[in-house]
Structure 1
Amino acid sequence: LTPARIAALAERRRGIGCDQLVTLSPPTRPGADVFVRFFNPDGSEAGACGNASRCVADLLWRTGGTTRPVLQTLAGLLPARIEASGLVTVDMGQPRLDWQAVPLAAEVDTLHLPLPGDPAALSMGNPHATFFVSDFSGLGEGAALEHAPLFPQRANIGFAIMENPARMRLKVHERGAGVTEACGSGACAAVVNAVRRGLAERICDVELDGGMLRIEWTPDDHVLMTGPAATAYEGTVDLTAYPS
C-alpha cells in the first residue's frame, strides 16, 4: 500500500472511494487486539481517526464478539467499548495542548493562535485548529488554513457553531481529505477547545453533516467519543490493478 496506490484506491470515480483508508494487522504492543493504521485520500498517514476507530471496534465486535477491544495506533492505545444500545465509545486519550505537541511552528498560546479568526489548537494524535464562528461561510478557507506556515505538519481545520453549552454544530476541512461529512477527532478537539474557552460543558453533543457524536472530556483528562457505526458493503480488491 504505497501512497500512490492508496490515493488510487481512495479516488471515488476509478477506485473504491473513501475519506480514510484503514489497515488492520496483528498488534505489536501487549494488551492490544489489533494494530490500526489510518491513511488520508492523498496517501499520507494520519496518527488517529475517531470515526474509523469506531468502525474498527464495531468490526471486531461483529466478527469476534469482543465488546471491549483495544486498538493500537500511532497515537497510542485506544480502548473502546460497545454500548448496550449498539453505539460505540472510544477513549481517544488525552488532548495535547502544548504548542510543540500540536505541533506548531512557533511558541504561541494554543488557546489563541495568531491567525485571523482567533482559533484554538491542540492534538488528538493529529493536529487540529478550531474556529468558533456564527456561520459556515468561511469553510472555503480551510484548504489555505490547512497549509498555513504555523502548521508544519498541516492541520485539520474545524468550524464550530455553539448552539448552547451542551450542543454544537461542526464542519471540518480534514488534512489531506478536504471537507468531510464527519470528523471524530475533530469533534473531540472542538469540544475540548470549547471547554477551554468557557463555551461548552464537558459533555457536549456535536452535530455533523454525517450524524451525531457525544463527546465527553472526563475529569481525568481523557476524551470519550460515542457514536454509531454502520457497514456500507464488503468486497475484495485486486491491489495489483492499482498503481504501485
Structure 2
Amino acid sequence: MAKGEFHKMHGLGNDFVIIDARDCPMEMSPPRARAIADRKFGIGCDQIILLGKSKVADVAMRIFNADGSEVEACGNASRCVVALLQQDLQIETKGGVISGQLSGNAVTVSMGDAKFDWQDIPLAFAMDSGSLPLAWEELENPMAVNMGNPHAVFFVDDADAADLARLGPIIEHDAAFPERVNVNVASVQGNEIHLKVWERGAGLTGACGTGACATAVAAIKQGKVQSPVIVHQKGGSLTIAWEPGQPVIMTGSATYVFTGQADWDDFG
C-alpha cells in the first residue's frame, strides 16, 4: 500500500496517527514509524496505531512508539479506536484482548487483569514487586505493575516536583527492567491521584492510560484510595475502577482531530 488515509486523534493530549489497514495491509517498520511520528518532518504523534484483521477479536491493534519500538498496550489509543469505529469492540493487542464500549461522550475500556508477579512485569530477577528494593535519588521503592506493559509506580508528596525529564530515561533503561519500563510518579489527595508519566519509548506525555491504570491499582492495593478513583494528568482526567481479581476499568475521553492522506513510501 503506497497511498492511504490516516486519522489523527488524541486521548487527553496523548496523540496518535491511526491507520486502518484491515482492507489494505501495510508494512510498519521502526524507521517508518519514526518518520511518521516526527513532528517536524512527518505527521507527528506519540504513537502510530496500525489496525488490522483479527481472528480472536473485532479488530487487531499494533502500537508503535515515536522511537519506532512496538509495545503491547495503550489505554488512550484503545479509547480512540472505539471512538473512531463508533461501536463497542473487542480489540486484540500484543498484551491481550481488551474490550471497549461507547459511554455517552466518553469511552469505557476493560483493560484486562493487572499482574504483579516479578516474572510478569518482567523484572530481571525475583523481587518483591509491591516495593522494589531500588532507588533513583529521591524516587524510591516503586511498586511494579503490568497492565499489558510494564510500569513502575512511585508515590511522593508532590508529583510535580519530580524531575522526570532527567530521571525518567535512567529508570526506563535500568537493567532491572529487561523490557524497559514506564515510570509513574504520583501524589494522592483525598480519593484523587495526580500523576506524571515518563512513557517507555515516548518520553514525557500529557497522559498515559495504562499508567493511570497501573497507578490507580497500586494506590488501591496499598490502601491509599478506594475504587473508583480519579487520576489527573496534564492532559486531563480518567476514572479508574478496580477490585482485586477483576479487570481494570478505565473511562475517559477520546478526541478526533482530523483525517489526512499520505504516501507511505515517502516515510521509508
Q: TM-score range by the shorter chain?
A: over 0.9
Q: Distance in 1 between matches of 2:196 and 2:244?
A: 26
- Pairing of 1:1-244 with structure 2 (within 5 A): 1-29=28-56, 32-61=57-86, 66=87, 68-83=88-103, 85-116=104-135, 117-135=140-158, 136-138=160-162, 139-140=164-165, 141-164=167-190, 166-218=191-243, 220-243=245-268
Corresponding letter in the other structure for 1:107: A
Q: Distance in 1 between matches of 2:245 and 2:132?
A: 26
Q: Distance in 1 between matches of 2:267 and 2:247?
A: 40
Shift in Å, 1:47? 0.4
Over aligned residues, Cα RMSD in angstroms?
A: 1.0
Corresponding letter in the other structure for 1:162: V
Q: Distance in 2 between matches of 1:216 and 1:130?
A: 17
Q: CA separation of 1:77/1:133 partners in 2, compared to 1, >3 Å: closer, same or farther?
A: same
Q: Distance in 1 between matches of 2:151 and 2:225?
A: 18
Normalised by the length of structure 1, the TM-score is 0.93
Normalised by the length of structure 2, the TM-score is 0.85
Shift in Å, 1:218? 3.2
Instruction: Describe the SS at the equivalent of 1:51.
Output: helix
Paired residues, number: 234
Q: Distance in 2 between matches of 1:200 and 1:10?
A: 36
Gaps of 5+ in 1: none
Q: Distance in 1 between matches of 2:243 and 2:130?
A: 19
Alignment check: 8 A CA contact 1:88 1:228 kept: yes
* Higher percent of residues as strand: 2
Corresponding letter in the other structure for 1:59: L
Shift in Å, 1:230? 0.7
Give the structure, 1 or 2, with the largest relative contact order (CA under 8 Å, sep 6 or more).
2
Q: Distance in 1 between matches of 2:55 and 2:234?
A: 36
Instruction: Describe the SS at the equivalent of 2:171.
Output: helix
Q: CA separation of 1:15/1:209 partners in 2, compared to 1, >3 Å: closer, same or farther?
A: same
Alignment check: 8 A CA contact 1:111 1:196 kept: no
Identify the residue that residue 20 of structure 2 maps to in structure 1.
Answer: none
Q: Distance in 1 between matches of 2:175 and 2:246?
A: 29
Q: Distance in 2 between matches of 1:219 and 1:173?
A: 26
Shift in Å, 1:59? 0.8
Q: Distance in 2 between matches of 1:40 and 1:200?
A: 31
Instruction: Describe the SS at the equivalent of 1:237.
Output: strand
Alignment check: 8 A CA contact 1:11 1:41 kept: yes
Shift in Å, 1:220? 4.1
The answer to which of 189-198 and 214-223 deviates more is 214-223
Q: Distance in 2 between matches of 1:133 and 1:235?
A: 42
Corresponding letter in the other structure for 1:110: S
Corresponding letter in the other structure for 2:39: R
